[in-house]
Structure 1
Amino acid sequence: MLQVQNLTRTFGDKVAVDNVSFDVPSGQMTGFVGANGAGKTTTMRMIMGVLSATSGDVLLDGAPLTALARSTFGYMPEERGLYPKQPILDQLIYLGQLHRMSQSQARKGAMDLLERFGLGGRTKDKLESLSLGNQQRVQIAASLLHKPNVLILDEPFSGLDPVAVDSMVELLRERTSAGVPVLFSSHQLDLVDRLCDSMVVLQQGKVIASGTGDALRARAVNRHRITVSPDAGWVRDEPGIRVLDVAGPTAVLEFDDDDARQRLLATALTRGSVEEFAPIRPSLSEIYREVTAV
């Protein structure tokens, strides 16, 4: 498990990251979300040791994170760091060797990853000759090549087409199945909802929500959908509820308390048939929009 404890970073009088704490459990994907400037990249840089923390700690399995431990991490920075004029296979082999892989191991691992990303026929091409999306694929391959123990990925899906996204998702799931904790930031909330076991929401340098999908949903506004026959317009006159929407036989409601919910159901049963009465399970993207709403 990767643990971030009370990380703070200031730049002069500006507090960029303010007492941030969260866990990234082994074998799980954690989505790190927030608006531009919320402090996500600064936090990731402190985790990786690229930027020193003003205060706070990062732990791996309960022990303070060392440079040696960080060398086993896979890191994909926001600003890509590959060499534009070097052939892609050559530089992946070089980067693998920096992670103590043999040349043959690095070559085999790089070829496997490039094949999976559809770049097996372009191994001798210089990076600058590739499209931005394909350059992104090579950057991802560089972060995964040495089979890292932890993955820290800053906007890994940016610029990828749907096929490359699917390939990336498959690779990440392979790593989490092997027990690797994965932290990735993304503005693509549909992907966060699709992939993540948990989510950390940052706003103005502070964590404003965090937890598993189920825990966040449990804390979300309790909404229900009711479908009755013949029409649901009468719900507008019921006490203890807020009517968010009515469309013919279906209404979306919020209740002041459980008593109001039970009263409404009892009333509905006296007025006709009830075809549906169920809580609405919000997506993580809906939860994000709700907790960040000003």
Structure 2
Amino acid sequence: MFEAKGLSRTFGDKVAVRDVSFSVPDGRMTGFVGGNGAGKTTTMRMIMGVLEPSAGEALWNRQPITAANRRSIGYMPEERGLYPKQPLIDQLVYLAQLRGVKASVARTRGLELLDRFGLAGRSKDKLEALSLGNQQRVQIAASVITDPSALILDEPFSGLDPQAVDSMVDLLREFTARGVPVLFSSHQLDLVERLCDGLVILARGEVVAEGRADDLRRRGRIRHRLVLDTDAGWLRDVAASLGINVVDIDGPVAVLELPSEPERSAAAADAVLRRAMERGRVREFHELVPQLADIYREVA
């Protein structure tokens, strides 16, 4: 498990990150979400020791993180850190050796990873001969070749085709199944929503939301969609007495906000249904679960 605890970073008069705190538990995949300039990359660099925090600290198993801890973390920076004129397998072996892996073990792992990403036949090619998407695959292989105890990945899915995305997803799930904590940033909110157990949302250098995805979706008032056989305009006249807020009505279709407290929400839902059924047929009545994009827009 690793944590950020009150991490802040200034560049001159500019505050890039302010008092950022969150944790990534063992075996959990956590999505790090925010717009350009929100502070995601700066925060990752501070955790990895690439940047010195202006305040705060990074923790590993609730203790200050050390250089030895960081050597066990697989880190993938947003900017590619590979050698364009060196053969793929040679630089994978070299990078693994820097982390203490024997050359023979690194070569075996490197070839397995290249094969997994569809690059087995190109292990002796120079990096510059590959497309940007394939270079990204090699960068991913470099971050996991040491069999890391944690993963911090900055935009790992950028430039990958759907097949490579699927391979990457399978790989990350194998790590979390072994109890490895994974933190990755991405602008592809659909992927984050599909993969992540937890979310950390940054805006203007600060954490504006953190928690399990399901919990974040259900914060605040709950929206439902009601579809009737007849016009739903009557709801505006009785909304307050039923404990609901009418968000929108379009003919027979109404979007309603129910109270956030479970008991009050259930009572309001029952009351709406009773009134609606007294007036005719109810075709639909179901909860509208917010998408991650909706949560992000709301908090950021």
TM-score range, shorter chain: over 0.9
Code of the aligned partner of 1:141: A
Q: Residues of 2 paired with 1:256 and 1:7: CA distance?
A: 35
- What residue number does 1:159 align with? 159
Query: How many percent identity over aligned positions?
Result: 62
Q: Indicate yes or no: 2:283 matched with 1:280.
A: no
| TM superposition score normalised by structure 1 | 0.94
- Indicate yes or no: 2:275 matched with 1:264: no
Residues 1:53 and 2:53 aligned together: yes
Equivalent position of 1:250 in the other structure: 253
In 1, Cα distance between the equivalents of 2:268 and 2:177? 44
Q: Give the whole-Å Cα distance in 2 for the aligned partners of 1:37 and 1:23.
A: 21
Q: SS of 1:209's equivalent? A: strand
Contact 1:229–1:272 (Cα < 8 Å) also in 2: yes
Separation (CA, whole Å) in 2 of partners of 1:286 and 1:147? 36
Q: Aligned equivalents of 1:33 and 1:83: distance in 2? A: 29
Counterpart contact for 2:40–2:185, Cα < 8 Å? yes
Q: Distance in 1 between matches of 2:128 and 2:81?
A: 12
**Secondary structure, counterpart of 1:159 in structure 2:** coil
Length, aligned pairs only: 292
- Contact conserved, 2:151 with 2:181, CA < 8 A, in 1? yes
> For 1:164, what is the secondary structure of its paired residue?
helix
1:97 Cα deviation from its structure 2 partner: 1.1
Indicate if the aligned counterparts of 2:24 and 2:182 stay in contact, CA closer than 8 A: yes
Q: How does 1:131-170 map to 2 (within 5 A)?
A: 131-170=131-170
Structure 1: gaps spanning 5 or more residues: none
Contact 1:239 1:260 in 2 (8 A): no
Q: SS of 1:8's equivalent?
A: strand
Deviation of the 1:59 alpha carbon: 1.1
Q: What are the within-5 Å matches in structure 2 for residues 7-156 of structure 1?
A: 7-156=7-156
Q: For 1:2-22, what per-residue CA distance to the aligned partner results, in whole angstroms no more than 9, with x for missing partners? A: 111111111112111100000
CA distance in 1, matches of 2:81, 2:251: 56
Is residue 188 of structure 1 aligned with residue 188 of structure 2? yes
1:47 maps to a residue whose letter is I
Distance 2:26 2:125 in 1: 36
**In structure 2, distance between residues paired with 1:176 and 1:256:** 36
* Structure 1 match to 2:224: 224
Q: Secondary structure at the match of 1:5?
A: strand
Partner of 2:234: 234
Give the distance between the partners of 1:13 and 1:83, measured in 2 at CA: 35
- Residue 81 of structure 1 aligns to a residue whose secondary structure is coil
In 1, Cα distance between the equivalents of 2:65 and 2:259? Answer: 46
Which residue type is aligned with residue 192 of structure 2? Answer: V
Deviations 1:34-76 (A, max 9, x none): 1111110000000000000111111111111000010000000
Which residue number corresponds to residue 299 of structure 2?
A: 291
| Counterpart-to-counterpart distance in 1, 2:239 and 2:218 | 24
CA distance in 2, matches of 1:105, 1:216: 43
Q: Which moved more, 1:39-48 or 1:208-217?
A: 208-217
CA-atom RMSD in angstroms: 1.7
- Please give the secondary structure, in 2, of the residue aligned with 1:238: helix
> Contact conserved, 1:220 with 1:287, CA < 8 A, in 2?
no
Moved more, 93-102 or 275-284: 275-284
Distance 1:72 1:131 in 2: 29
Structure 1 position 215 matched with structure 2 position 218: no
Contact 2:247 2:254 in 1 (8 A): yes
- Check the 8 A contact 1:117/1:167 in 2, yes or no: yes
TM-score calculated relative to the size of structure 2: 0.92
Task: Report the alpha carbon displacement of residue 261 of structure 1 after superposing the two structures with TM.
Answer: 4.3
